[in-house]
Amino acid sequence: MRVLVTGGGTGGHIYPALAFVKYVKQMDPNAEFMYVGAKRGLENKIVPPLGIPFKTLEIQGFKRSFSVENLKTIQLFLKSIRQAKKIVKEFKPDIVIGTGGYVSGAVVYAAAKLHIPTIIHEQNSVPGMTNKFLAKYVDRVAIAFQDAAPYFPKSKTVLVGNPRAQEMVGIQKSAILEQYNLEVAVPTVLIFGGSQGALKINQAVIQALPEFSKKPYQVLYASGERYFQEIEETIGMTKDAFKNISIQPYINQMAEVMVNCDLLIGRAGATSIAEFTALGLPAILIPSPYVTNDHQTKNAQSLVQIGAVEMIKDAELNAQTLVEAVDKIMSNEVLRQSMAEASKSEGIPNASERLYRLAKSITRD
């Protein structure tokens, strides 16, 4: 099987694609891959070290307000389609799978016009502009949230989940928390705002540290590299008093850490949701207000409705609302277990398998 995957710009588009590639390699060691990304996308740092054949296209997004820059965007898009057709013809894929981002628009569209079987994967509750555009051309639309279904043609749309979730399956509890000077047997709250951190979350956590230090649970807090030094300076010598709190700039083994935690706090990105629902973790989600179509709020609402998470709006986040929300869950084991079960019910741990079966089904048509 020859598979061309494309998606870029953010980790939310890249990591599901890579998780799918990893799964297909396990199922079919003879499978061949090509990854097509954008020249200036994050995928340039993430994909090449993995040894996957990698090509790039120069492409950019549309400005939402009127701008002459959009003329350049159109020119680049048309040029990218021509280049993508050349890549597709040379690689001769059995299927092309796009996971979002502007680059996948050009590549998947080109493949569809060349009559190559195509699938787009939508990770969020509200689709991005690229996948909305591609929906009319592709053979199948794979979604991670049922809430996304109304945006796509019913006859093409299949709920598969997020491939990133399948990478969480089988990870066992361990003593990894000891690496962060925390105790394995103490209930643990994990707080993070993404790889770069989130300013509003950092501000609330810093103010909440004195209260958290009094609690019977412990806190592992990943601040993000760009905020870590500032936090160290703000806390100063008082950090020695926070025996049950560990502050880290970044957590490399996030999956292994999540398995050993009891509550997660963070943004409502599609990848994080795929990870913690696959594990059946309860969560407090603070959706970012700075994303397209406010899709993180809608992601979170899907889980609030089934009782898997609590949501705090970014504008309402402060030390008091954060501590109150954490205490409500951590002091009530029955509630925490109920949320965990709801989270587990929403997770689709075999998402890569589902997407693989879908891909196989249309390559045989």
Instruction: Check if the beta carbon of residue 348 is closer than 8 Å to that of residue 354.
Output: yes
- In this prediction, residue 23 carries a pLDDT of 96
Single-letter residue type at 4: L
C-alpha distances in angstroms, 263 versus 84, 158, 219, 228? Answer: 44, 30, 10, 22
Residue 193 is predicted with a pLDDT of 80
Q: Which CATH code for domain 176-346?
A: 3.40.50.2000
Q: What is the pLDDT of residues 2-49, one digit of tens each?
A: 999 999 888 889 999 999 999 999 999 999 999 999 988 889 999 999
In a 13 Å sphere around the CA of 166, the CA atoms on its Cβ side amount to 23
Residue 259's pLDDT is what?
Answer: 96
Note the Cα 54 to chain centre separation in Å: 21
Nearest of 35, 65, 39, 71 to residue 53 by alpha carbon = 35
Which residues define the annotated binding site? 10-12, 124, 195, 251, 296
Q: Where are the domains of the chain?
A: 2-164+349-363, 176-346
In the chain, DSSP assigns E strands to: 2-6, 32-38, 54-57, 95-98, 118-122, 140-143, 157-159, 188-192, 218-222, 245-248, 263-266, 283-285, 309-311
What is residue 204's predicted lDDT score, i.e. its pLDDT?
93
103-145 pLDDT tens trace: 999 999 999 999 999 999 999 999 988 999 999 999 999 999 9
Distance CA 164, CA 20 (A): 8
Domains 2-164+349-363 and 176-346 share a fold: yes
**pLDDT confidence tier of residue 68, bands split at 50, 70 and 90:** low
pLDDT value for 194: 66
Q: Give the per-residue pLDDT at 36.
A: 97
The pTM assigned to this predicted structure is 0.86
Report the chain's mean pLDDT, rounded to a whole number.
91
Least confident range from 56-65, 90-99, 257-266: namely 56-65
* CATH fold label, 2-164+349-363: Rossmann fold (3.40.50)
Is it the case that residue 172 has pLDDT exceeding 70?
yes
pLDDT tens by residue, 231-277: 777 776 455 668 899 998 888 888 899 999 999 999 999 989 999 99
270 to 163, 194, 239: CA distances (angstroms) = 11, 12, 33
* pLDDT at residue 67, rounded to an integer: 59
Q: What's the order of all strands across the beta sheet hosting 309-311?
A: 245-248, 218-222, 188-192, 263-266, 283-285, 309-311
Q: Could you tell me which residues are annotated as the binding site for UDP-N-acetyl-alpha-D-glucosamine? A: 10-12, 124, 195, 251, 296
pLDDT at 240: 62
Is 60 exceeded by the pLDDT of residue 66? no
Rounded to whole angstroms, the Cα distance separating 152 from 149 reads: 6
Q: What is the pLDDT of residue 58?
A: 85
The pLDDT-based confidence of 323 (bands split at 50, 70, 90) is very high
Radius of gyration of the chain (CA): 21
